[in-house]
Amino acid sequence: MTKMAAVGTVKWPELEKGEKRRELVLQGPGLDSKFRLCAGQLPVQLFDLTLLNYLEVSGCSELLEVPAGIGRLTNLQSLVLCRNKLRVISSAVGHLRLLRLLDVSGNELKELPADVCGLPELCTLNVSWNRLQDLPDGLERCSKLAELNVSRNLLTSFPPGLMSRQQGLLSSICAADNHIQKLTGDISQLSNLKSLDLSNNLLTEIPFELAECSKLKDINFKGNKLKDKRLEKMVNGCQTKSILEYLRVGGRGGGKGKSKAENAVKEETKDKKKKRETKHKESEGDEDDVEINRMMIKILHISENSAPILVNVSPSTKEVRPYIVCCVVKGMNLKPGNALKRFLTVQTKLHEEICDKRTLATIATHDLRMVKGPLLYDARPPKDFTVVPLGRKAINAKDLVRQLQFEAEEQRKQKKRQNVSGLHKYLHLLDSKENYPCLIDAESAVISFPPITNSEKTKIWKTTCDIFVEVTSSTSLQICKEVMDTLILKMAELNKITMESKEVVSDCEQERNNPLEESAKENHDLEMSSQLVLEQVRVTDMEGNLKVLYPSKTDLNSSPSSIIIMR
């Protein structure tokens, strides 16, 4: 009797309980002899149970292949084929449009059919303990994917689409025990990521963008030979919070952060050499100027943004909110005590007072490290852009306004009064507007939606020291400048108070927040300085013609000694 003839003669009493079955589990070595007679394939009788929504076949060492008949089980929501000897899965698995769970762990698969990427409802994919050398391109099409387990394979990298904004629900990635050599900065686009396991791979660096994953609570990079030994020590100690804060301040763990740290040290060396060469000038009375220049150089090279940021203004803003003024402020110390809270309180008071409850102008402050220039100040239909508001999930601007309006109405009902709080009290400023203003970075992310909110992407943290500031207005350019002047002076005053106060950072917090301490001891003087450095930002039209430059020669001429302006 040939194998093909045997397939039709094998008895499967497990499948003879009627075609209306919803669940079926086939397990254990007792089935091996049957699968051997079926040429290592699932029995054809199985594919007549078209109402199945759960199918599990596990622990069968003679199960080698999932044939095309699997595509007939179109009601399947869970397919578990773990701990077998599978070598082939038919592309017909792509017909299972309702499938939410696919578990083929513990097999001998060398590849997955590309059709897996066309499963629109797939939430959990477990392909661990196989022999996969790569994952199929197009996984981003599985937009509902929340859990991915690819551990114990032979992967050297992730497919590029996996780290995309389309994977907004992906919360868990387990890729331990592979040969992955690089984790790209695109990981920051996984806004819902909570758990990441890349232990026992070939990583040498961790991208600083990982710190942008605001929901990340559990990370594991053990067993990788990281270049940054301090970071490796944190990794081996499972110090998730310390690792993220270290990366957030541009620590040497990421490629970009590392280069900046090295550049800081190199520039410090150049600076010392330059001082020696100009020593005779200092003796002629230039000591103060040289010292100021030294301080400015230090601050600039600690920053993640070495190039000036340019803001282009679209003509469409003219009818909505045409005026914008921006600048860069470096050297803020928000780490001690309540410094960050006081900084945010200052902005709130300015919004209430000089900005007249945002009717005259709106302030937005951003962590400069997360601002990817050049920027575009534009006005678009609300349905055409998405924003990630502070403390909220990504949402279409039109839907955000509707949601805020609903929340405002609920507030009124609960409090039985007309006044509302938070973002809700600024909604009327958008009344009758067909287009909404927005500031967009080079990665097409909306980092500001005035006068309502700015983005979670560029949120200010306690570790933020370099800040990108914007002031927008529908009233006048002069109002923008006056508000900016007031804010800068308030920031300088706050920074001085913070530095002169007795508030101190605990030893462990200092260790986390000062990643350059080991390689640049002289930065101690800078950290204790209350001086701020202001860098100009050019705002131009779309043809490159200058609209406004701040601070210009006429701005902040009477600024205190605690402010250094680079013009």
What DSSP designation does 356 have?
T
What are the contacts of 316-320 at 24+ separation with CB within 8 A?
316/378, 316/379, 316/380, 316/435, 317/377, 317/378, 317/379, 317/437, 319/379, 319/435, 320/379, 320/433, 320/435, 320/436, 320/437, 320/474
Helix, strand or coil for residue 329? strand
The yes-or-no verdict on residue 298 having pLDDT over 60 is: no
pLDDT at 502: 45
At residue 154, φ and ψ (nearest 5 deg) are -120, 30
314, 542 contact by CB (below 8 A): yes
Sign of the Cα pseudo-torsion (152, 158, 163, 167, in order): negative
Angle at 265 between CA 262 and CA 268, to 5 degrees: 150
* Those residues with Cβ within 8 angstroms of residue 463's Cβ, 6 or more apart along the chain or in another chain: 245, 248, 249, 334, 335, 513
* 94-103, 170-179, 301-310: the lowest-pLDDT one: 301-310
Which whole number is the average pLDDT over 467-479? 94
pLDDT at 410: 77
Closest by CA to 386, choosing from 476, 449, 293, is: 449
Q: What is the pTM of this model?
A: 0.47
> Do 3-257 and 310-382+437-566 have matching folds?
no
Helix, strand or coil for residue 504? coil
Which whole number is the average pLDDT over 190-203? 91
pLDDT range class, residue 496, cuts 50, 70, 90: confident
pLDDT at 489: 92
Q: Which residues pair with 197 in a beta bridge?
A: 174, 220
pLDDT at 37: 77
The yes-or-no verdict on residue 204 having pLDDT over 80 is: yes
The yes-or-no verdict on residue 290 having pLDDT over 60 is: no
pLDDT at 18: 60
The yes-or-no verdict on residue 522 having pLDDT over 70 is: no
pLDDT at 558: 66
Q: Which residues pair with 126 in a beta bridge?
A: 103, 149
pLDDT at 498: 81
Report the top-level CATH class of 3-257: alpha beta
What span, in angstroms and rounded, lies between the C-alpha atoms of 216 and 159?
Answer: 21
Helix, strand or coil for residue 41? strand
Q: Which residues pair with 413 in a beta bridge?
A: none
pLDDT at 292: 35
pLDDT at 336: 87
The yes-or-no verdict on residue 257 having pLDDT over 90 is: no
pLDDT at 299: 32
pLDDT at 274: 52
| Four-CA torsion 487, 488, 491, 496, nearest 10 degrees | -140
At residue 194, φ and ψ (nearest 5 deg) are -115, -30
pLDDT at 303: 36
At residue 532, φ and ψ (nearest 5 deg) are -105, 145
Residue 265 tokens, joined: 């040290």
pLDDT range class, residue 349, cuts 50, 70, 90: very high
75, 50 contact by CB (below 8 A): yes
Q: State the first-to-last Cα distance of the chain, in angstroms, to the nearest integer.
A: 91
pLDDT at 433: 84
pLDDT at 288: 42
pLDDT at 246: 84
pLDDT at 419: 55
Across the chain, mean pLDDT equals 80
Residue 506 tokens, joined: 């605990």
**Percent of the chain at pLDDT above 90?**
38
Give CA 129 to chain center in angstroms: 29
Residue 397 tokens, joined: 């601007």
The yes-or-no verdict on residue 559 having pLDDT over 60 is: yes
pLDDT at 521: 41
pLDDT 10s digits, 104-127: 999 999 999 999 998 999 999 999
Q: Which residues pair with 66 in a beta bridge?
A: 89
Amino acid of residue 389:
P
Helix (H) or strand (E) run with residue 6 in it: helix 3-9
Residue 385 tokens, joined: 């852009």
Helix, strand or coil for residue 121? coil
Report the top-level CATH class of 310-382+437-566: alpha beta
pLDDT range class, residue 560, cuts 50, 70, 90: low
Domain boundaries, the chain: 3-257, 310-382+437-566
What span, in angstroms and rounded, lies between the C-alpha atoms of 528 and 505?
Answer: 12
pLDDT range class, residue 267, cuts 50, 70, 90: very low
In this structure, the chain runs to a length of 567
The yes-or-no verdict on residue 550 having pLDDT over 90 is: yes
Which whole number is the average pLDDT over 190-216? 90
What span, in angstroms and rounded, lies between the C-alpha atoms of 51 and 402?
Answer: 41
487, 363 contact by CB (below 8 A): yes
| Four-CA torsion 277, 291, 556, 314, nearest 10 degrees | 60
Q: Pick from 413-427, 432-446, 487-501 the range whose average pLDDT is largest.
A: 432-446
What span, in angstroms and rounded, lies between the C-alpha atoms of 212 and 68?
Answer: 43
Between 505 and 441, residue with greater pLDDT: 441
What DSSP designation does 296 have?
H
pLDDT 10s digits, 19-45: 677 888 887 667 878 888 788 888 888
pLDDT at 376: 95
pLDDT 10s digits, 352-397: 899 888 889 999 999 999 999 899 999 999 999 999 988 888 999 9
Q: Between 229-236 and 240-248, two packed helices, what is the crossing angle to 10 degrees?
A: 150
Which whole number is the average pLDDT over 312-320? 93
